[in-house]
């Protein structure tokens, strides 16, 4: 009895099918993309800025974030949603005299609308916010606190810009990117000089 020949399987098209499946999965699969943290660096200080004087304790607003992500402001516990309001009060207090910005600018903060508390900051150009953290502090909490502190300066700048020029500081920053002009640049510089952003970030505690 003769042996029956086994039929051959044509595998010639298998490579084509595998290639098509590979293309399909490459086209339809989404790739996770790592995103960074958007954070603006501190503003550049003017070159002719004198050496920093010794600071009075009342001119320093100490913000501490501990390893448990708890927020202490002047040694008192506080939630993140309250820090901007407290920072605005401190920066805008205007309780004394500051360093004259120029010959035409008075040392007293006549644009401040704060309580003028003698126990709080003397002037926006003397008000220093000191941000301290712990190595156990989470990045999310630390960045959230930073954003609120920067937001306090933006809020004050927007208010003064609206009062002086009828337009917010934020709007002027957007406009100068599209149509830079000398007049607009001078206005932005003036607002920044009246409310200089002074945030000191200390090395994290171990």
Q: Do the domain assignments include residue 182?
A: yes
List CB contacts of 65: < 8 A, sequence separation 6 or more. Answer: 71, 72, 131, 132, 133, 134, 137, 141, 142, 145
DSSP state string for 52-65: PPPPPGGGEEEEEE
Instruction: Compute the distance between CA of residue 110 and CA of residue 116 in angstroms, rounded to an integer.
Output: 11
- Residue 85 belongs to some domain of the structure: yes
Q: Is residue 135 part of a domain?
A: yes
Establish how many alpha carbons lie within 13 A of residue 123's alpha carbon, considering only the half-sphere containing its beta carbon: 17
Tell me whether residue 26 is in a domain. no
Residue 144 lies in a domain: yes
User: What strands, in cross-sheet order, belong to the sheet with 76-78?
Assistant: 76-78, 71-73, 60-65, 128-133, 199-201
**What predicted TM-score, i.e. pTM, was given to this entire model?**
0.73
Q: Is residue 24 part of a domain?
A: no
In a domain, 1, yes or no: no
Report the pLDDT value the prediction gives residue 206, as an integer from 0 to 100.
Answer: 65
Question: DSSP 3-state assignment of 128?
Answer: strand
> What is the tally of structural domains in the chain?
1
What does the pLDDT read at residue 198?
Answer: 93
Per-residue pLDDT for the chain (206 aa), expressed as one digit of tens each? 555 565 666 655 677 778 788 888 888 877 665 555 555 555 565 565 555 557 789 999 999 999 999 999 988 999 999 999 999 999 999 988 776 655 555 678 999 999 999 999 999 999 999 999 988 899 899 999 999 999 999 999 999 999 999 999 999 999 988 888 899 999 999 999 999 999 998 777 66
Q: Yes or no: say if 186 and 122 are a contact pair by the CB < 8 Å rule.
A: no
Range of the domain at 155: 57-201
Would 9 be classed as within a structural domain? no
Cα(48)–Cα(22) distance, integer angstroms: 63
């Amino acid at each position: 009895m003769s042996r029956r020949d086994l039929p051959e399987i044509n595998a010639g098209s298998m490579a084509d099918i595998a290639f098509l499946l590979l293309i399909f999965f490459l086209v339809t699969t989404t790739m996770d993309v790592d995103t960074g943290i958007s954070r603006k660096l501190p503003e550049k200080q003017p070159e002719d800025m004198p050496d920093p004087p010794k600071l009075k304790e009342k001119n320093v607003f100490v913000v501490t974030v501990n390893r448990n992500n708890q927020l202490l402001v002047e040694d008192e516990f506080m939630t993140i949603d309250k820090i901007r309001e407290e920072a605005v009060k401190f920066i805008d207090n205007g309780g004394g005299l500051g360093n004259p910005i120029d010959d035409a600018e008075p040392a007293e903060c006549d644009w401040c609308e704060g309580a003028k508390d003698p126990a709080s900051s003397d002037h926006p150009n003397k008000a220093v916010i000191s941000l301290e953290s712990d190595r156990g502090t989470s990045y999310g909490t630390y960045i959230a606190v930073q954003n609120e502190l920067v937001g306090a300066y933006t809020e004050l700048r927007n208010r003064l810009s609206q009062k002086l020029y009828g337009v917010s500081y934020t709007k002027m920053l957007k406009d100068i990117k599209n149509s830079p002009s000398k007049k607009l640049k001078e206005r932005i510089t003036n607002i920044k000089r009246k409310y200089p952003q002074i945030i000191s970030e200390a090395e994290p505690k171990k």
